[in-house]
Every structure is written in structure tokens, then in C-alpha cells.
Amino acid sequence: MKRICAKTIILLMSSTCIISCVNKDVEYAKEILLHDTWTVQSSAKVGQDGKVISSPEIDVSTWYKATVPSTIMGVLTDNGLYQDLFEGTNYKEADKAIFDVSWWYRKTFDVDKEDIGKQMKLVFDGISYRANIWLNGELIASKDSVYGSFCRFSFDITKYINNKNTLAIEVFRAQSGDPNIGFVDWNPRPLDENMGVFREVRLFMTGDVDMTNTWVSSKVNTENLDEAWLNIETRLKNLSNKEIKGYVKGKIENIDFSIPVTLKANEAKTVKITPDEVKELYMKNPRLWWCTGMGSPELYDLDLHFVIGNKISAKEKITFGIRDIDSYITENGDKGFILNGRKVLIKSAGWTDDIFLRNTFESNEKQIKYVKDMNLNMVRFENIWGTSQNIYDLCDRYGLLAFAGWSCQWEWAPYIGIPDDEFGSIKSRHDMDLLMRYLESQAVWLRNHPSLIVWMGGSDKLLRPELERRTVDFLASNTNFIYVGAAKGKVSEISGSTGMKMLGPYEYVGPNYWYIDTLYGGAYGFNTETGPGAQIPVQESIEKMVAKDKMWPIGENWDYHCTTSTTALNSMEVLTQAIEGKYGKPSNLKEYLDGANLLSYESTKSMFESFRVNRPKTTGIVQWMLNSAWPSMYWQLYDYYMIPVSAYYAVKTANEPIQLIYNYKDDGIYIVNESVSKAEGLKAVIKGFSLDSKLLYQEERILTIDKDEVNKFYTVDNSFKNSFLSLTLYDKNGNLIASNFYTLSSSEDTYKWDKTNWVGTPMENYSNFKDLRKIANANIEVSAKYEDANSILIELENKSNTIAFFTQLLVKDMNGEIFQPVFWSDNYVSVLPGEKKILRCSFEGSLIKSNQAKLQIKGWNIADNEIVLE
């Protein structure tokens, strides 16, 4: 029987017939996103049950206006409550007791009369944490079954639906022991524990056959990249009590196919379509999906229908990419990754959503553009972040790889609220079954994204062996993700060595640390989370979170905005010690901010540079973190207000595709090439200056370097320390490719290696840069003009004999608010005596040109200056 069906399928593959059939098919299936016109209120104020609340008569004029996705705190803040919540220490005074009771979401919606009689289902992509769901006075699901933040729920509501409908959802916050959305120690816990309908809700209307979970997977010839094989599968469900015959019809650009399918009464089955059935799914010269820096992130669309007669009973549209992902283990036991046959050095940072899950498409896109602008190629999601698939769609579109998986929120008792052991806190059969439901929901939901290549079973710990076996088996059968047992260096009896390391540091270390350390967080292997501690925002942002009258001296309001760890990382003490140790005790806020920004810039830059220079001993580096869920002093490349910090530009410079890099260990200057091609006839210019800006030496070299190569070509003389080092690289036509700048000290940072712990390695002695406080003022002449509607060209000309050191530029409106997002070609720059440096500031649309704006320039040794942009 199976052989007969297969032959029948092949015989029906006539593209001309299929096209004509598709053209005649009538739309029947519909999908409605229930996003707008929700209202929200506390059950303590409603005083009614779900039967009444889901009826049309109830008065909601005093309820809060809302949209979905949202959390209760997100709704309340959007309605103007909790003003200045994040300023100073206000947050710890906020009342959490109002979330001890349940809260209601309510929405009315219409269904066209001609659609009554269709099969109807209501799909919830995420509810935190429990819910009773009512529709038109009927309880369709209770909190006994609707629980778990990362479960997706689908309910048949055909018999409940009317022309006019009222949906009411009673949500309950997570309790101790519930594996909920978590922020670990990155920021305070959300006041409401993120209770709410935090992901999208959709109404689907279908015929008697429903279609779900469509998946397109690919295999690429990685030797020649000239052929690929696609496989499609989809889940069909006969919702009727009779046998149904129909067709699965699909279209991918110029590929059309039609597969006959028969479903018995109430039958559900998975239909798989391969190149054996549809020869066009074998593709010659496919457009491949590449991550940024390696090629273009090409995407395709699949339109898939199930057709009964000439009616489209159900449909799905899937965007996918053709790519091949693999992994390897180095001779040192470290895991690396291969994209389309080419090894890729992962350069990444760790993502978090907003503390109240208020991320929008627009805010996500700004941040993903920032990631790409920094020349990073991956985002690590410790948690399945996102209020929709939007964040993963953006990674697909902008060519950013992604790692996802479970958070250490569930691995430690202080965060989840129940005891932990070596495998975390998920111990009981009930909790393991829940995590499998999480996995089945999330992995299937996300598996079409070409950007998502790794699923991490744990962060700090491995899953319990029984749970890990179930996880590994499910992922192997239902996804093409690479499974990694944990972000930490662990060996599992189920999945073997993780090939990762999580050895810190999370606190300040000097720029030489990354080169000289060979036991902990230094430049070898794959470091899944690390960074030099505090990465403070710009002054304008700090004033919003600390309050202007608390800015100086550094005090409690600053400390409150560090991490919430109880053992470390919870004050500005380590950063302050480093500033004082390197540059001397600051006498004012400017000196403190200058020192903090320079420390962060130099160590963050060296962290990424060292992992590039040390290839192939290195396979990946994840800056901890990318962003912040609330206004923070720690672990961020841009702040809560979307303003890049100094480390942002350090990362951008460090990861230029072709770059000159100084190695703090051997004093060598290296050229690295991670572009897509060989580079010939390059000119490297090396200049050394004393701290009083006297030229000490100047060298030029003509270089050729193949792609993926790292070459040392020069050694800095040790006698020329306590100096500035300027590196510039030009192509064979004299165009500037990249530049880099360093401060070098004759005294090195040293460390208390025997005191190393999870936080990092404490400093023993600091390199001495106290003379930097004494350098003479420089005179910078600034001019700026609009290059076009979307960019400004700025020329900085140094009219003095002193280097203008670490100069920052900002574009503000006339009220002093910083425009964002803007994309600088470089920032926190140093300008040599007599040099003209051209910078470009790019922005979306007419963000700046349509408004009055001013350019602000400030730096280590220049007077603050502002010019109005005309």
C-alpha cells in the first residue's frame, strides 16, 4: 500500500497542473492576531467571576487599557503608574503585594457571520504563569492545566464562538519552585514576576483539516556549496468524523508541488516531503544563509496549504534559510562551529529582554542593528527571550547566529526558590515532564530560524541525566539544532563534553589578562560568558537612574544599580579601586567617568582582540552582557536607554573584519583577516608617541593576508612603553580600512592567581597611567555637515601639538536628549597632532535632520564643545 501511494505521488508532480490548481483554490483559512483593545484589572477590584467577566454586560471603563503581549507591570507602567520607578532606590520601595492576587485580561472581538461554522482554535504562545481562560461565559481551560511560561496552548473553541465574543483570562503569578522567566542576578526581580499574557494570542479559522508545525530543513554540499537538499514536514489533523482526501500544496519561489493525502476520521499525522517526492527540492546553486561577515543571510518563503476540493482548509507561511551547521572539537577539547563548511569564530554577547517584557519590534530591531554594527556575529539567549518570534526573525534577516536554551534561574535555589543539587532544581517527575513540554513547545516553535544553531540544555549545570536523555532524543528527531549540555565546562554521561568554559571573569581585569591567562577566562576555547565588570552608561543616562543630586560622590544610588548578586558585583568598589590604581584618585565626576570609560574600553577591546589573535586555539567569546533589563552599571554594550557605552565602540573596533591588533603578551602587532577574501597590497602604519605626544617611532609595512589568517609582522620595542600606540591600515589604493589606538605602560597589570573564584581573578597591581591625568590640553576644531538625509559627516582637526585623547561625540536634540539609534563609524577616538579625522554618524530616516540638533564633543583633554547642526 505504501509503495502504491509513493508512485501515485510521483505521478501527480505536474507543475503546470499544480499552478492551475493553486490559482483556482479559494481562501477559507484565516488567522487573526488579538493584539489591541484589551483591558486589564486586578481581581481584588473586579469582584466578579470569569462567567460574568467574559460576558458583554460588564463595565470595564475603570480598567487599564492594554495590548497583548504584555505583563501586568508593563500595562501599569504604560498607563502612567510607577513614575520614576527606576530612579535611585525607588524600586525597592514599590509594593509587590498587589500581585499576590490574580489579575484579569479582557477583550471583545467579532467573527464575521460567514465564518461561523468554521473550525476555530485559540492559540496562546506564552502565559506567565497560570491562567483560567473564559470565553463567552464558559471556562474553556483552567489553571490546573494552563501553567508554565514556556508552554504554548491551543484550544478548540468552535462550539463557543459567536458573532460577538468576550475573552477573559485570569492570570496568576509564579510561585517559589515554578520554572518561570528569570533574570538571575542581572537585575532586581520583576515586581509581578512577569505575570501576564506575555506572548501573542491568535484566533485561527480552518476547514475540517488543520495544519501546524511546518518545518523546512536543509542539507548543503559543503565542499562546493553548489547544491542543497530541502526536506519539508507538516502536521495535519482531521477535525471531522469522516475520512477526508485533499492535497498538501506548496510553493517556494519557482518551485510548486502538490501531494495527495488521505486522513481517516479524527486522524493526525505528519507528512514528510523530500527530494525523492519533489525533485525540485534538490536545488542547484542555492542562495545560502550566512552570518554577517561571511556572506549574505539569504532567505526563502514557503507557502503551504492543505486543500480540500478547491478550498484552502489550512495554511502556513514559513520563512527559512538554506544553511548547513556543524561542530568540531579542537585538540584541546574545545567546541567550535562550522557554517556551510567554513569554521566561524563566534563573537557574541548575552541578550536580555526588558524587565517588564516591554520589547517591541522597533526596540528589538534597534538592538539587533547595534549588534551587527559592532561586527558581532551571534547573540546568546540564556532563556527563550522574546514576546514573539520577532527577535529571531531579526537575527535571520540581519545574519546573526543565535544560541538559545534554559537559564540558570532554575539551577540555583536562591532564584527558583527550591533546593538545588549538581543538576539544578528540576528534580521531580512533574517538573521534568514540564520541562519537556517547554522544550517541545519552544524548539518546534523556533526550529525554522536559520540563525538558531545551538540549544543549551543548561547554563551553569547539566540537566538531570533522565531529562537530558529525553531532551537529546527529542532535539535529534525534531530539529537540526546542535545540542550543548551546558554553557559551563561539563562532561555528561549522556551528551559527553560540552566543550565550553564558564570561568569568568565577571569583574574588572586589565587588558593583558586575556593574553596571559591560560587557565581561566583568557583567550582559549569557547568562553560562554565573560567581561570586565562594570560598563557604565554615559553621564546623561546615569543622571536619569541615579538622580542629578546623587551623582557625586559615588554612593548608594550607584551601587543599587549594579547586579543583585549577594556575594559580589553589587557595588562600584572594584571599578573605583581600578580607577584609583591606574589613574589616581579622581577629584570630580568627570575624572571618574573618564577613567571608568577608558578601563572598560581597553579591557573589552582586548578581550575580543585576543580571541581573534589566538585562533585556532579560540573558538568563541560571549561578552557578558549585551544589554540591560533595567538601568544598570554592569555588563552592557549599550545602556537601558539604548545609548552605546564606551565598550560598544571597543567591540566595534576590535572586530573590524581586517584589523591591526597589539598583543599585550608578546608586544607583537598582528594583522587578522576575517573578511570573505584575501587582501593584498595593504599598508600598515605604526606610530608610537610619548605621553607628551612626541613621536617616538614610525614604521610602515606592506602586507598580504589570506582570509581567516592571523599574522604577526612587528614587535614593539619594550623601551618605548609609557606611550601611545597608533595603528592604521590602508588598502592598495590608499583608502583607510581600519585604525586602532592603545595606551602602553612600562608597569604591567598583575593578578592574585591563587585567589581566583567564580567572579574572576583579583588585581594585585595596576599598570601605572597616572601621568595621563597630566597630559596637556589639545585643541580640536570641529566641523559637521549633513552628507544626506540619513547621515552626518564630522571632521575633527587637531590644531595642537598634543594628542586629543579618548574623544567622545554625541548628537542631541535642543533639550539635551541624546538621539538614538545612531551609528557612528567610530567614537571615543584619539586624534594625533595635525591629524584630520573624518567620522560618519548614520541614522534612520530623518531622525535628526527633521529636528533641531546639536553635536557635542568632549574628551579626556579637550574642552567640552557644542555646535548646532545646520
**pLDDT at position 497, please?**
99
pLDDT, tens only, 200-243: 999 999 999 999 999 999 999 999 999 999 999 999 999 999 99
Q: What is the per-residue pLDDT for 5?
A: 36
Give mean pLDDT, residues 433-440. 99
Q: Which helix (H) or strand (E) holds 408?
A: none
- Per-chain mean pLDDT for the chain: 96
Predicted pLDDT at 25: 86
- In CATH terms, the fold of domain 34-206 is Jelly Rolls (2.60.120)
What are the two backbone dihedrals, phi and then psi, of residue 80, each rounded to the nearest 5 degrees?
90, 5
Nearest to 828 by CA among 673, 605, 612: 605
Yes or no: say if 843 and 813 are a contact pair by the CB < 8 Å rule.
Answer: no
- pLDDT band per the 50, 70, 90 thresholds, residue 844: confident
Q: Judge if the upstream peptide bond of residue 833 is cis by omega within 30 degrees of 0.
A: no
**Contacts (Cβ under 8 Å, ≥6 apart) of 555:** none
What CATH architecture does domain 216-320 belong to?
Answer: Sandwich (2.60)
pLDDT in tens, 100-145: 999 999 999 999 999 999 999 999 999 999 999 999 999 999 999 9
Q: Which of 361, 395, 374, 366 lies closest to 845 in space, CA to CA? A: 366
Main-chain phi, psi angles of 869, to 5 degrees: -85, 125
Q: What is the DSSP letter of 188?
A: P
CATH topology of domain 775-869: Immunoglobulin-like (2.60.40)
Nearest CA to 287 out of 399, 120, 179 is that of 399
- The domain limits of the chain are 34-206, 216-320, 658-745, 775-869
Q: Are 110 and 145 in contact (CB under 8 A)?
A: no
Integer Cα distance of 271 and 504 in angstroms: 46
Average pLDDT over residues 494-522: 99
pLDDT (0 to 100) of residue 326: 99
Q: Is the pLDDT of residue 348 over 90?
A: yes
* Helix axes of 589-613 and 573-583: crossing angle, nearest 10 degrees: 90
- Report residue 3's pLDDT band, with 50, 70 and 90 as the boundaries: very low
Q: Closest Cα to residue 606, out of 562, 670, 687? A: 670
Task: Please report the sign of the dihedral spanned by the C-alpha atoms of residue 507, residue 511, residue 516, residue 521.
Answer: positive
Q: pLDDT digit string (tens) for 558-609?
A: 999 999 999 999 999 999 999 999 999 999 999 999 999 999 999 999 999 9
Cα distances (Å, whole numbers) of residue 516 to 519, 534, 600, 607, 659 = 9, 22, 18, 11, 21
In angstroms, the CA 829 to CA 825 distance is 10
User: Which set of grid coordinates corresponds to residue 391?
Assistant: 527577535
Residue 303 has pLDDT above 60, yes or no: yes
pLDDT of residue 23: 53
Read off φ and ψ for residue 693, nearest 5 degrees.
70, 25
H or E segment to which residue 788 belongs: strand 780-788
Range from 444-448, 499-503, 609-613, 865-869 carrying the lowest mean pLDDT: 865-869
- Burial level of 527, CB count in 10 A (0-12/13-18/19+)? buried
Degrees to nearest 5, angle at CA 418 with 415 and 419: 105
Q: Which of 46, 67, 191, 193 is nearest to 130 (CA)?
A: 193
- Written as nine digits, the cell of 544 is 536619569
Q: Are 371 and 394 in contact (CB under 8 A)?
A: no
How far, in Å, are 99, 512, 535, 722, 740 from residue 508 at the CA level?
38, 12, 10, 21, 22
Beta strands in 111-163, from DSSP E residues, in sequence order: 119-124, 130-135, 138-141, 153-156
211 residue type, one letter? M
Per-residue pLDDT at 1 exceeds 80 = no
Count other Cβ atoms within 10 Å, centred on residue 773. 16
286-320 burial, b if ≥16 CB within 10 A, otherwise e? bbbbbbbbbbebeebebebbbbbeebbbbbbebbb
Cis peptide before 505 (omega within 30 of 0): yes
User: How far is the C-alpha of 769 from the C-alpha of 747, rounded, in Å?
Assistant: 9
Query: What is the model's pLDDT at position 848?
Result: 74
What distance in Å separates the CA atoms of residue 743 and residue 512, rounded to the nearest whole number? 12
The answer to whether residue 22 scores a pLDDT higher than 60 is no
For residue range 595-617, what is the model confidence (pLDDT) as tens digits?
A: 999 999 999 999 999 999 999 99
Q: Which residues contact 795 (CB under 8 A, 6 or more apart)?
A: 782, 783, 784, 836, 837, 838, 839
Looking at residue 165, its pLDDT comes to 99
Grid cell, residue 806, equals 579618548
Q: Are 161 and 120 in contact (CB under 8 A)?
A: yes
Q: What's the pLDDT at 12?
A: 33
Q: How far apart are CA 739 and CA 656, in angstroms?
A: 9
pLDDT tens digits, 174-209: 999 999 999 999 999 999 999 999 999 999 999 999
Q: Are 698 and 687 in contact (CB under 8 A)?
A: yes
Q: What is the pLDDT of residues 773-817, one digit of tens each?
A: 999 999 999 999 999 888 999 999 999 999 999 999 999 999 999
Tell me whether domains 216-320 and 658-745 share a fold.
yes
The pLDDT, as a whole number, for residue 9 is 32
Would you state the pLDDT for residue 781?
98
Contact 384, 452 (CB under 8 A): no
Second-level CATH architecture of 658-745: Sandwich (2.60)
- pLDDT at position 851 is 74
pLDDT band at 251 (very low <50, low <70, confident <90, very high): very high
Q: Does residue 293 contact residue 375 with C-beta atoms inside 8 Å?
A: yes
What are 454-493's pLDDT values in tens digits?
A: 999 999 999 999 999 999 999 999 999 999 999 999 999 9
| AA letter at 703 | L
Cα first-last separation, the chain: 77
Average pLDDT estimate for 49-61: 96
Alpha-carbon distances of 655 from 35, 123, 659, rounded to whole Å:
40, 42, 7
The answer to whether residue 153 scores a pLDDT higher than 50 is yes
Cell numbers describing residue 337: 562551529
Q: Nearest to residue 406, comparing CAs of 477, 338, 484?
A: 484
Task: Provide the grid cell at 729.
Answer: 591600515
